[in-house]
């Protein structure tokens, strides 16, 4: 009863990309982002609420590229996805019915009568013309895809503009700057008052909200990491990166060369006493990726069986808990905040490709590791003259060979392997002192890992075992000193 009073629905979420300096990696960016739908229109002329914008936060220095029309990685847009869904329908009448079902909402028992009305047919033609216009505008975007270079943080830009907008209405609050819009949300559906005509005073039909834009983006972080690991294939850079980050850096580890096809950036967080996050996560051995995935699956199965068959009572819960601070890193990502936040005093990024400071990773298992070190230095110079001057440290990986497998009194073969490994390490140290000295200008510093003698810098050689996480604290403290030096502008 009464006049038509159903109003329009709200708009869907627009998607923005906002660069912020607090982030250092793209690991927090989801692979698929869905905007929220707008609110439904109500009776008594109540419009639906517009959905809140969806903001994707990325590090400063991110380059956002829209994949071209002919790129095979591109997902179908909203029109192509609908066409693919209609291809399964062979009958033209079925396609037309499916098209109407996606766009119209009929009052109960009014669908058959509505589609026969001239006013509905006119409205349907108007909807089709409007969609054809939007489809044509979308096609015009393909030759000129979106490209954004977010090399600087732009927070606060909207505040600066609104302060000088003297013509703004009184009482209008300042709008928070959300970044760059990359995808528009769909318009809300139309209520039945929009279809009132001289022959239809009480329309029994409304439209559904429009589909938002579907867009496929490629995000590239062009800013180099603070520390870059440089090594020959299968030297253990990926294993070292996983060990330093406590397994949070999802690198691929296997027993063959060229396992890592794309660079991975990790974050190392350090406390005041030199403790770093990786050594608190409880992981002692970093195996190949396939082995660790199998162990993780077995652990989940065991935990599932334990939880389903046994529920501890209060006494057993109290006796099994430790008296000190317990950090459950297995479930840390499922809760807001992060356990290491209370301890962190310094952080820097590390990657398995060259960064602002280079760290050589040498495999002690190789027959001539000193030749590998020379080759790495020459490769850096060939790629970019002066790049080898960024080298700060030589990490000799797989140094667990220096410890006999059977401990004291092991086999003669083990003793011979250990003596051979010690000889290799000693020769590497001599090579670094004689051939890897770099002349530079600068003042005397006391940073860990770097010795200066009258403008000559020599690199430290630190043996580690990335697989077993041994001697990594010294490496982290050295890297921390290099990053602090770079941030002070001395390098």
DSSP 40-109: PPBTTTBPPPPPPPEEEEEETTEEEEEPPTT-TTPPP-HHHHHHHHHTT--SHHHHHHHHHHTTEEEPTT
Check residue 129 and give its pLDDT.
92
Contact, 217 vs 198, CB < 8 A? no
Check residue 64 and give its pLDDT.
92
CA–CA separation, 455 vs 281, rounded Å? 40
The CA R_g of the chain, rounded to the nearest whole Å, is 31
Structure tokens, 389: 């001057």
Terminal CA-CA length for the chain: 79
Spatial neighbors of 439 by CB under 8 A, at least 6 apart, are 455, 456, 457
Cα distances (angstroms) measured from residue 391 to each of 243, 286, 442, 455, 460: 21, 26, 16, 15, 10
Exposure string over 286-295, b if 16+ CB within 10 A, otherwise e = bebbeebeee
- What tens-digit pLDDT sequence spans the chain (491 residues)? 567 888 889 999 999 999 887 777 787 888 899 989 999 888 888 888 999 999 999 888 889 999 988 888 888 888 888 888 888 888 888 888 888 888 898 888 888 888 888 888 898 899 999 989 988 988 888 888 999 988 766 544 444 344 456 676 776 666 778 889 999 999 999 988 888 888 888 888 889 988 889 999 999 877 667 888 888 887 777 788 888 887 666 665 555 555 555 667 778 888 888 888 777 765 566 555 555 555 556 665 666 555 544 444 444 433 433 333 444 444 444 344 456 677 788 888 887 766 667 889 888 887 888 888 888 888 888 888 888 888 888 998 888 766 655 544 445 567 777 888 888 888 888 888 888 877 664 444 444 444 444 467 788 888 988 888 888 889 889 888 888 887 776 43
Contact, 249 vs 292, CB < 8 A? no
Assessment of whether the complete model's pTM goes beyond 0.85: no
User: What sign results for the dihedral spanned by CA atoms 102, 103, 109, 114?
Assistant: negative
Check residue 235 and give its pLDDT.
76
Cα distances (angstroms) measured from residue 346 to each of 273, 338, 343, 477, 483: 11, 15, 9, 11, 10
Whose CA is closest to 190, among 250, 130, 150? 130
Whose CA is closest to 4, among 188, 141, 206, 179? 206
For residue 125, the SS3 value is helix
């Amino acid at each position: 009863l009464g006049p038509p009073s159903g109003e329009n629905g709200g708009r869907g979420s627009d998607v923005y990309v906002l660069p912020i300096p607090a982030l250092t990696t793209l690991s927090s960016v989801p692979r698929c982002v869905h905007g929220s739908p707008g609110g439904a229109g109500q009776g008594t002329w109540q419009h639906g609420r517009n959905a809140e914008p969806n903001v994707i936060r990325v590090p400063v220095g991110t380059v956002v590229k829209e994949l071209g029309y002919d790129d095979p990685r591109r997902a179908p847009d909203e029109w192509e996805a609908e066409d693919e869904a209609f291809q399964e329908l062979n009958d033209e009448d079925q396609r037309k019915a499916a098209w109407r079902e996606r766009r119209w909402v009929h009052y109960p028992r009014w669908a058959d009568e509505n589609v026969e009305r001239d006013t509905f047919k006119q409205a349907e033609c108007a909807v089709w013309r409007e969609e054809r216009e939007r489809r044509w505008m979308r096609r015009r975007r393909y030759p000129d895809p979106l490209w954004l270079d977010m090399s600087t943080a732009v927070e606060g830009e909207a505040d600066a503009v609104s302060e000088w907008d003297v013509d703004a209405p009184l009482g209008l609050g300042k709008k928070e700057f959300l970044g760059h819009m990359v995808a528009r949300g769909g318009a809300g559906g139309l209520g039945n008052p929009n279809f009132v005509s001289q022959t239809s005073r009480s329309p029994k039909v409304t439209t559904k909200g429009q589909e938002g834009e579907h867009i496929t983006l490629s995000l590239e972080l062009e800013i180099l990491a603070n520390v870059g690991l440089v090594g020959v294939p299968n030297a253990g850079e990926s294993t070292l990166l996983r060990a330093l980050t406590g397994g949070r850096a999802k690198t691929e580890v296997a027993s063959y060369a060229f396992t890592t096809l794309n660079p991975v950036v990790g974050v190392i967080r350090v406390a005041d006493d030199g403790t770093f996050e990786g050594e608190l996560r409880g992981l002692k051995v970093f195996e190949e990726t396939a082995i660790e995935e199998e162990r993780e699956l077995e652990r989940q199965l065991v935990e599932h069986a334990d939880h389903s068959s046994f529920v501890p009572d209060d006494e057993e819960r109290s006796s099994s808990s430790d008296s000190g601070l317990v950090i459950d890193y297995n479930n840390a990502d499922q809760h807001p905040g992060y356990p290491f936040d209370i301890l962190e005093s310094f952080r820097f990024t590390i990657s398995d490709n060259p960064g602002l400071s280079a760290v050589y990773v040498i495999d002690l298992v190789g027959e001539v590791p000193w030749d590998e070190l020379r080759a790495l230095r020459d490769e850096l110079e060939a790629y970019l003259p002066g790049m080898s001057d960024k080298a700060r440290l030589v990490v000799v990986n797989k140094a667990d060979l220096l410890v006999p497998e059977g401990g004291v009194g092991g086999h003669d073969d083990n003793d011979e392997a250990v003596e051979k490994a010690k000889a290799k390490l000693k020769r590497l140290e001599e090579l670094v002192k004689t051939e890897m000295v770099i002349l530079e200008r600068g003042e005397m510093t006391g940073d860990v890992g770097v010795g200066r003698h009258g403008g000559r810098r020599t690199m430290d050689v630190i043996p580690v075992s990335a697989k077993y996480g041994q001697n990594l604290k010294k490496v982290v403290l050295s890297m921390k000193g290099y990053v602090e030096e770079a941030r002070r502008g001395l390098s």
